Amino acid sequence: MASFLSGLSGRHQMHSHPLLEELVGQSIVHTRVASRGTWTVTARGWVLHSRVQQVAGPSQGPDEGTTESSVVGLRDPRLLGAAIAGAEMLGDGFLALALSTPAGPLRLTTPPRWRLEGPRGARLRAEEKGRLDARPGGAPVHAAPETLATYTASRPSDLEEQLRETGRHTWIHPGHVVDLLSRSGALEDAEFERRGPDLLGRLLGRGEIRAGFVTDGRFTPWNLPLAEVVEHIGTTWEAIGGRTPGPDMIAWFELSEKGRDALGPTSAQAMPPGMSGYDSPGVVGGFR
């Protein structure tokens, strides 16, 4: 649905939007920069894409007490892990995200044109002069019923057996999947984005692994339907892109009892690796 922000209640007033409100509470897990612009990715797979994005916050140098601003960089350490506290637009489409970080508040901004894309095809796009185009999320993209049925009825591949073996003594993260796919000959980003979620989806569908988060050396499974977990993995992997996903991105995974049985009688209990971090699809605590 198209509309004009400046025609709603004034060019210089701040506006919200239901799709922007979806960002609040989520954390930023990745930023990337290329010739076509800048992408900021959240833990639930929302992606903000624009030509240039700026981040502003308190100066840490000799001018402490003032505000400094600079462009967002690749895997920008100022933004990784930052929680989105608010999101608003001006009437001309200028977007501002209020961020909370351990070092203090930050402000991420971008002028139009920009595009925000989210799970299940949701999209909010601001053109120049305040023209706004919105599309709510629809049917599952990665977890259609026929896809889940295929996963549930699948038989383990060699790569899936190798990933199960990885889970014998440690928790599994997407970086393990990336490594297996690389060693099997995967080259293109699109191949990682397709095969990575598919491999995890088959293991989840057969009930051999469960998704969750790791905090203080303990794994806690998510209490979510299979369809939600599979949709989250596919959406967020695609948003982060290619072979980038690793620890503290998307999810952690633990072998289930069924998965351990598939390893055979020599299986040992997983040994906590002492890693902590990713909680859930996008929010601090049990569910972000």
pLDDT in tens, 212-266: 999 989 999 999 999 999 999 999 999 999 999 999 899 999 999 999 999 876 5
The CA–CA distances, whole Å, from 237 to 138, 161, 224 equal: 19, 21, 18
267/182: higher pLDDT: 182
Pick from 73, 106, 135: which residue ends a domain? 135
- Domain membership of residue 164 (yes or no) is yes
Q: How many CA atoms lie within 13 Å of 145's alpha carbon, on the beta-carbon side?
A: 0
Residue 189 near residue 224, CB atoms below 8 Å: no
* Residue 159 sits in the same domain as residue 181: yes
- Domain membership of residue 270 (yes or no) is no
Could you give the CA distance from residue 32 to residue 112 in angstroms, rounded to a whole number? 18
What is the residue-wise DSSP string for 168-206?
A: TTS-B-HHHHHHHHHHTT--SHHHHHHHHHHHHHHHHHT
Name residue, tokens 């903000």: 48
Burial of 160 (C-beta count, 10 Å sphere; 0-12/13-18/19+): buried
Pick from 135, 155, 188: which residue ends a domain? 135
Burial of 80 (C-beta count, 10 Å sphere; 0-12/13-18/19+): middle
- Entry pTM: 0.84
* Residue 259 sits in the same domain as residue 230: yes
| Residue 285 confidence (pLDDT) | 39
| Residue 280 confidence (pLDDT) | 46
* Residue 120 sits in the same domain as residue 159: no
User: What is the number of domains present in the chain?
Assistant: 2
- Domain membership of residue 281 (yes or no) is no
* Residue 130 sits in the same domain as residue 15: yes
Could you give the CA distance from residue 170 to residue 224 in angstroms, rounded to a whole number? 22
Residue 137 near residue 120, CB atoms below 8 Å: yes
Helix H or strand E encompassing 133: strand 131-135
Give the phi and the psi of residue 6 in degrees, each rounded to 5. Answer: -65, -20
Pick from 135, 153, 173: which residue ends a domain? 135
128/204: higher pLDDT: 204
- Domain membership of residue 216 (yes or no) is yes
Residue 121's domain comprises: 2-135
Give the rounded percent of residues in the chain with a pLDDT score beyond 90.
76
* Residue 163 sits in the same domain as residue 123: no
Taking only the tens place, the pLDDT of each residue in 39-84 is: 999 999 999 999 999 999 876 655 555 568 899 999 999 999 999 9
Could you give the CA distance from residue 7 to residue 211 in angstroms, rounded to a whole number? 45
Give the phi and the psi of residue 107 in degrees, each rounded to 5. Answer: -135, 120
- Domain membership of residue 201 (yes or no) is yes
Could you give the CA distance from residue 234 to residue 208 in angstroms, rounded to a whole number? 18
* Residue 20 sits in the same domain as residue 125: yes
Check whether 34 has a pLDDT greater than 60.
yes
Check whether 287 has a pLDDT greater than 90.
no
| Residue 284 confidence (pLDDT) | 34
Q: Centre a 10 Å sphere on the Cβ of residue 200 and count the other Cβ atoms it contains.
A: 26
- Domain membership of residue 110 (yes or no) is yes
Check whether 85 has a pLDDT greater than 50.
yes
| Residue 175 confidence (pLDDT) | 97
Check whether 278 has a pLDDT greater than 50.
no
| Residue 64 confidence (pLDDT) | 58
| Residue 251 confidence (pLDDT) | 97
Check whether 91 has a pLDDT greater than 80.
yes
Could you give the CA distance from residue 26 to residue 46 in angstroms, rounded to a whole number? 9
Torsion of CA 40, 46, 51, 52, to 10 degrees: -30
* Residue 106 sits in the same domain as residue 154: no
- Domain membership of residue 109 (yes or no) is yes
| Residue 270 confidence (pLDDT) | 41
| Residue 69 confidence (pLDDT) | 87
| Residue 272 confidence (pLDDT) | 44
* Residue 92 sits in the same domain as residue 122: yes
Taking only the tens place, the pLDDT of each residue in 143-201 is: 999 999 999 999 999 999 999 999 999 999 999 999 999 999 999 999 999 999 999 99
Taking residues 118-123, report their average pLDDT.
96
Check whether 267 has a pLDDT greater than 70.
no
* Residue 177 sits in the same domain as residue 225: yes
| Residue 265 confidence (pLDDT) | 66
Check whether 102 has a pLDDT greater than 60.
yes
* Residue 79 sits in the same domain as residue 109: yes
* Residue 127 sits in the same domain as residue 174: no
* Residue 88 sits in the same domain as residue 188: no
Q: Centre a 10 Å sphere on the Cβ of residue 82 and count the other Cβ atoms it contains.
A: 26
- Domain membership of residue 237 (yes or no) is yes
